[in-house]
Amino acid sequence: MSNLLEPEDIEWKYIKHVTMTTQSHTLFRDERYKIQLEQITNRDGHGWVGKAKNYFFIDTLEREFTDLQELCNCWNERNNFDDPNNEIIWVKKIVPIVKLKSS
């Protein structure tokens, strides 16, 4: 049984909106999938509004997505495997650079 997340499965619920002089922020969530959409629109303070930029997030994952399909792919990778009692956690490891000696 698969529970693959597709963009059309998401039901964004409006949470809040904040309008400031130079930007407008709108927040949406889907609690079923524990994902969030933040929409940021630049403004000039005189009524002009630019094109909105969308940023997507998965709860408990310190990563930002600008493409909804990429978010779905990552969510599917983390949540679809054979052991329902565990989850995959990706770890970033920083190691020193090893330089090869030239001959």
Burial code of 51-83, b = ≥16 C-beta within 10 A, e = fewer? eeeeebbbeebeeebeeeeebbebbeeebeeee
The model's pTM is: 0.72
What residue ranges of the chain have pLDDT lower than 50?
Answer: 1
pLDDT for res 81 = 61
Can you give the pLDDT at residue 87?
Answer: 66
Phi, psi of 68 (to 5 degrees): -65, -40
pLDDT of amino acid 1:
37
Write the CA distances from 11 to 17, 35, 88, integer angstroms: 18, 10, 24
